[in-house]
Amino acid sequence: MIQTARPRTSASTNGEVNKSQFRQYVWALGHGTNKVPIGDIVDGRYQVVAPSIWLDTRPQQPPKVPDPVPSFVLPYLKAYPYQLNLPGIYGICHQASGEAVLLLSNVPVSRQGQLMPAIAKAWSTASAFRQVYWLWQMISLWEPLSEFGAAASLLKKTNIRVEAWRVRLIGLSTNPAEPTYADLAAAWESTYLPEAKPSVKALLQSVCKALRSPKADFADIKAQINVQLLKESVGKTMEFQVAGATSTGPTMRHNEDACYPSRTELQRTSTADLPLLPRLAIVCDGVGGHEGGEVASQQVMRSLQLQLRSLLTEAMNQAQPLSPQLIIDQINAAIRVANNLIVDQNNQQGRADRQRMGTTLVMALVLPQKIETADGTAEVNELYLTHLGDSRAYWMTADYCQQLTVDDDIAGREVSAGSSFHTEALQRPDAQALSQAVGMREYEQLKPHTQRFLFESSGVLLLCSDGLSDNNQVEMSWSNYVGLSMQQIVPLDAAVDSWIELANQRNGHDNVAVVLMNVMVTNEDTDAEVGSTGPIGAQMGAQVDPDTVDAGQHAGSAGDRLTIVSDSNAGQSGPSQSIHPNQPIPPAGMTPATRALLYGEDDEDDTPLTSDEQMAIAPKGDSSATKTRGWVTGLLALIILGVVGIVGWLLWRTFEPLPPQDTIPDEVIPSVDPDE
């Protein structure tokens, strides 16, 4: 275990930023949660904004969680590393009836509290590229979901939502526990085959036939989808610019951060490096004391730079595309070499425990792949993103900012192991200590995270150390910066300077490294606005969907920019109750069409809780659920007794004989003129 303290003061819960200025939506699982009236406040903090979609009006307060961890929520905890596509556990609450409700975070809900489109609804209007990308993401999720016992989540079409290129699941289903390839084929044939684009229809027919085979080869099936995906990517002309810089920061004496490219590295560049420059971005944040940390970050960066130049050259010389797994294996091999270089120095110098030097790593490599088409050889650019530690990658467009990496820290490790809810794990004193970093241990004990992305539209890739990402500075400030970079109003190196200045002003407690890669796609797909506009697709990752606040002014020290243009058709050779969204339409006043738009096609819970699951998340002993249920029962009994007493008293007054009187009494109930 690496016990390196990181000074982050705010954290996210399974992909959702836990700060009061952000709207934290959750998906409520439980009996009748989709029938709770809009506008109601549940358990004193969750405002109902749509069926099963609740807004936490007190996100700064940790939610309640069951103790111990119930077995049925383990798939959600183990899904923690797959935050780009899968939901996680937020906590629990209780309805007025005492019924327990499971709350999911990182769900496919927009910032306006609207459920994102069902894939079945968006399918017919999607481009062939997007259709295949959705299939690729689903087939890539099948294996990890099978390990969690939740592969059935991919069989129900209403559970699968899309945010432009991105597939997202509402909940995780374990029924049936072990669905077969044939079950997946049946779901795909009924949902996607009828309205697939011609090239995609042929792919689906072939894939579904292979899935039904008694000797189905899952690797071959994935390869078949990948080849078609690359073919559908042909036709996009791309331009890449990259710039980077580091800063010691206002309070530190030594700079343990390193990045590529930077002005220092450009001075060391030879002509052999030129093809690599605009296609590679690296950020390293050294650990182990200023002497060791500075050495480790510099050596790892330069080792990877040299090795990846060879990988890039190999890919450029290949007549056929390399498989994603082969490329990932080669990237991991390069990390092994860099890791062992630092490990050997640690051992030779007798460094132990916290004295061992190491470094975090986040690295982006744009790899060109050659694809044979009817018009000749074309080029498709893939983005491979690798990280270890807590240096991060973000993808930013004019519409939103997405965190693509999940920090390697102790809190996340505990969640992924199924040992703790994230809310509880954050209470550990070592919650934000690194769980792994390059050079701290033998490679066999490391688990690098490498993802493959494809560009669909223009955007900016940001790599940074925690000197910038701490305290959610990126999530709060991205919208003030990204437009200037995308429209090239501000040079990319000046944009790097402004991010560094923001880090030094708002954080200032650490070194900072920033690399920006501006991706300009000149012929983007026309369906990029389906669901919510989006830039790229990926196999896995993280997502952050924040509101924005003002950021600092642009300023700082110089970075450096490099540019490359790539044409895929070259052929030669992307509560507080004061927090309220827009007032929803009351259910009673909805037309059937409006209700369907807000509530979806059916009013059933996508993943309702069984009675055993309800009991599992209800606190034991003197539980709030039991207290609430007993309190409600007692109150109802008192109300009934009160009503009976009042009725009895009225009857007694009505039939009691009147005392003798000398005059006729006035009428008890005055007459009313029917014309009034």
pLDDT in tens, 4-16: 545 444 444 444 3
From CA 396, how far away is CA 536, in angstroms rounded?
10
**Cis previous bond, 261, omega within 30:** yes
Is residue 252 situated within a structural domain? yes
Q: Would the pLDDT of 576 be above 80?
A: no
Same domain? 372 vs 449: yes
Q: Which of 246-250, 359-363, 474-478, 672-676 has the lowest mean pLDDT?
A: 672-676
**Cis previous bond, 37, omega within 30:** no
**Residue 628 confidence (pLDDT):** 44
Q: Would the pLDDT of 526 be above 80?
A: no
Strands 560-567 and 16-17: unpaired
Same domain? 110 vs 254: no
Grade residue 642 by pLDDT with cuts at 50, 70 and 90. Answer: low
**Cis previous bond, 70, omega within 30:** no
Same domain? 302 vs 372: yes
pLDDT, greater one: 250 or 548: 250
From CA 219, how far away is CA 221, in angstroms rounded?
5
Residue where a domain stops, chosen among 548, 571, 594: 571
Mean pLDDT, rounded, for 435-446: 95
Is residue 258 situated within a structural domain? yes
State which residues form the domain around 374: 237-571
Is residue 640 situated within a structural domain? no
Same domain? 182 vs 317: no
Indicate the number of domains in the chain: 3
3-state secondary structure 479-539: HHCHHHHHCCCCCHHHHHHHHHHHHHHHCCCCCEEEEEEEEEECCCCCCCCCCCCCCEEEC
Same domain? 285 vs 376: yes
| Length of the chain, in residues | 676
pLDDT exceeding 70 applies to what percent of the chain? 74
Is residue 619 situated within a structural domain? no
Contact (CB, 8 A) for 542 and 406: yes
Q: Which of 68-77, 274-283, 537-546, 556-565 has the lowest mean pLDDT?
A: 537-546
Provide the b/e sequence for 421-443 (b: ≥16 CB within 10 Å): bbbbbbeeebbbbbbbbbbbbeb
With residue 161 as reference, give the H or E element that holds it: strand 160-163
Token output for 56: 């936490």
Q: Would the pLDDT of 285 be above 50?
A: yes
Is residue 243 situated within a structural domain? yes
Contact (CB, 8 A) for 414 and 426: no
Q: Would the pLDDT of 272 be above 60?
A: yes
- In 3D space, the residue among 516, 240, 273, 535 whose CA is nearest the CA of residue 379 turns out to be 240
Same domain? 260 vs 376: yes
From CA 292, how far away is CA 448, in angstroms rounded?
21
Q: Would the pLDDT of 291 be above 90?
A: no
Same domain? 99 vs 124: no
Same domain? 99 vs 175: no
Same domain? 82 vs 191: no
Strands 24-29 and 280-287: unpaired
Q: What value does the mean pLDDT of the chain take?
A: 81
Same domain? 146 vs 272: no
Torsion sign (Cα): 441, 444, 447, 453:
positive
CA 134, 140, 141 angle in degrees (round to 5)? 90
Mean pLDDT, rounded, for 649-667: 40
Q: Which of 62-76, 208-222, 443-457, 650-664 has the lowest mean pLDDT?
A: 650-664
Phi then psi for residue 394, to 5 deg, are: -125, 145
From CA 357, how far away is CA 349, in angstroms rounded?
10
Residue where a domain stops, chosen among 233, 253, 286: 233
Phi then psi for residue 379, to 5 deg, are: -115, 135
Same domain? 192 vs 246: no
pLDDT, greater one: 548 or 162: 162
- In 3D space, the residue among 131, 327, 322, 124 whose CA is nearest the CA of residue 227 turns out to be 322
Q: Which of 176-190, 195-209, 256-270, 404-418 has the lowest mean pLDDT?
A: 256-270
pLDDT exceeding 90 applies to what percent of the chain? 59
Is residue 664 situated within a structural domain? no
From CA 554, how far away is CA 68, in angstroms rounded?
49
CATH at residue 388:
3.60.40.10
Residue where a domain stops, chosen among 218, 233, 248: 233
Distance between start and end Cα atoms, the chain: 84
pLDDT, greater one: 620 or 422: 422
Which residues are CB-neighbours of 319 under 8 A, at least 6 positions away?
A: 370
3-state secondary structure 559-615: CEEEEEEEECCCCCCCCHHHCCCCCCCCHHHCCHHHHHHHHCCCCCCCCCCCHHHHH
Beta bridge partners of 25: 55
- In 3D space, the residue among 178, 159, 167, 116 whose CA is nearest the CA of residue 140 turns out to be 167
**Residue 562 confidence (pLDDT):** 53
Is residue 3 situated within a structural domain? no
Contact (CB, 8 A) for 299 and 256: no
Same domain? 283 vs 428: yes
Is residue 37 situated within a structural domain? yes
Which residues are CB-neighbours of 559 under 8 A, at least 6 positions away?
A: 243, 244, 245, 262, 263, 492, 493, 494, 496, 497, 514, 516
Task: Dump pLDDT digits (tens) for 298-331.
Answer: 999 999 998 998 899 888 888 889 999 999 999 9
Does residue 10 sit in helix, strand or coil? Answer: coil
Instruction: Quickly tell me which residue has 């916290």 as its tokens.
Output: 354
**Residue 246 confidence (pLDDT):** 96
Q: Which of 146-150, 290-294, 309-313, 364-368 has the lowest mean pLDDT?
A: 290-294
- In 3D space, the residue among 148, 25, 24 whose CA is nearest the CA of residue 80 turns out to be 148
**Residue 610 confidence (pLDDT):** 74
With residue 378 as reference, give the H or E element that holds it: strand 376-388
pLDDT, greater one: 111 or 203: 203
